[in-house]
């Protein structure tokens, strides 16, 4: 099957991006653990999904540049992983399954936060767009959320919603920063709870494996190869997750979506998107 020009551009870009020089990886400390937020009082009636998006960034990430309009990590509106056609914000706003109930802009590390409510289920989705310059922070926040070391809440729709480690499912979308830098801070499960996670980034199983194991999280979807982390894969996986489908069924949904939008065979998608250990 012939891929579209957009799909080819994404694949070529991602291949080049993920071939960044790993020999130059720098160490970075995640900061003192006692500074983490650990708020645990919230409404447990709802299933919560927290999506952490590191905006695509030509300047500050170890990638070969994508077109300027989609590679400005300080502008979420047109960013490849947020405001672009298949970015998280645009894709979920256009979904018939989700209703946007809150939108907050910022000039700090998290440039935008969206809160969606599922139209039929007792489920909220919180999505944070991290300035691409701060991909390390996005990565650390994701890992600390998976481990329960970082827990927070927000108010939306008249409810107190648990986010980060208070969520049921935590997802990361973006460039695999662990190909470019190392984290020195210890990630360790803080409360004995196993959290589900999705990591849509190139070769994420290899690079996130150590930390997800230490967090004692459950990887529903992550990747074995280079991939394009656009929102259709995430949307499909979440659709199965909120229906309490088994992991194998969630993966099948993801494979179907990835094959459709990347114009590739299911066999190719199945080599990219994997579940579990």
The model's pLDDT over 26-71, given as tens digits with 9 standing for 90+, comes to 434 444 444 577 777 777 889 999 999 999 999 999 888 999 999 9
So what's the pLDDT on residue 38? 73
Q: Would residue 31 count as lying in a domain? A: no
Q: What is the mean pLDDT of residues 231-235?
A: 98
**CA triple 248-252-258, angle to 5 deg:** 140
Structural domain span for residue 141: 36-231
> Which tokens belong to 205?
């199983």
So what's the pLDDT on residue 35? 58
pLDDT in tens, 102-122: 999 998 999 999 999 999 999
So what's the pLDDT on residue 191? 96
Q: Would residue 167 count as lying in a domain? A: yes
Q: Would residue 17 count as lying in a domain? A: no
**Distance of alpha carbon 53 from the chain centroid:** 5
Q: Would residue 56 count as lying in a domain? A: yes
Q: Would residue 205 count as lying in a domain? A: yes
Report the alpha-carbon distance of residue 164 to residue 153 in Å, rounded. 8
How many domains in the chain?
1
207 neighbors 176 (Cβ within 8 angstroms): yes
Q: Would residue 1 count as lying in a domain? A: no
What's this model's pTM, rounded to 2 decimal places? 0.90
Give the CA distances from residue 218 to residues 1, 89, 99, 109, in Å, rounded to whole numbers and listed in that order.
34, 25, 27, 27
Percent of all residues in the chain with a pLDDT value above 90, rounded to a whole number: 79
For residue 154, the SS3 value is strand
Q: Would residue 96 count as lying in a domain? A: yes
DSSP state at residue 202: T
Residue 212 has pLDDT above 70, yes or no: yes
174 neighbors 88 (Cβ within 8 angstroms): no
Residue 20 has pLDDT above 50, yes or no: no
DSSP state at residue 122: S
Residue with tokens 């946007």: 100
Q: Would residue 255 count as lying in a domain? A: no
């Amino acid at each position: 099957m012939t891929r579209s020009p957009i799909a080819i551009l994404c694949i070529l870009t991602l291949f080049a991006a993920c071939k960044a020089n790993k020999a130059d990886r720098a160490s970075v400390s995640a900061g003192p653990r006692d500074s983490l937020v650990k708020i645990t009082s919230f409404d447990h009636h709802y299933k919560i999904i927290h999506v952490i998006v590191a905006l695509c960034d030509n300047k500050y990430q170890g990638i070969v540049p994508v077109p300027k309009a989609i590679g400005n990590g300080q502008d979420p509106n047109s960013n490849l992983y947020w405001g672009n056609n298949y970015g998280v914000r645009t894709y979920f706003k256009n979904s018939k399954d989700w209703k946007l109930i809150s939108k907050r802009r910022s000039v700090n590390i998290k440039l935008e936060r969206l809160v969606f409510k599922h139209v039929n289920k007792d489920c909220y989705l919180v999505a944070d767009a991290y300035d691409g310059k701060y991909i390390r922070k996005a990565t650390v926040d994701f890992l600390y959320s998976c481990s329960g070391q970082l827990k927070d809440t927000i108010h939306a729709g008249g409810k107190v919603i648990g986010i980060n480690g208070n969520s049921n499912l935590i997802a990361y979308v973006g460039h695999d920063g662990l190909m470019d830098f190392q984290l020195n801070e210890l990630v360790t499960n803080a409360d004995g709870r196993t959290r589900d996670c999705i990591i849509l980034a190139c070769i994420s199983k290899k690079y996130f494996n150590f930390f997800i194991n230490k967090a004692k999280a459950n990887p529903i979807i992550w990747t074995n190869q280079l991939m394009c982390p656009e929102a259709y894969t995430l949307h499909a996986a979440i659709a199965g997750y909120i229906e309490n489908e088994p992991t194998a069924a969630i993966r099948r949904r993801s494979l179907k979506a990835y094959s459709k939008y990347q114009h590739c065979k299911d066999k190719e998608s199945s080599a990219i998107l994997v579940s579990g250990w």
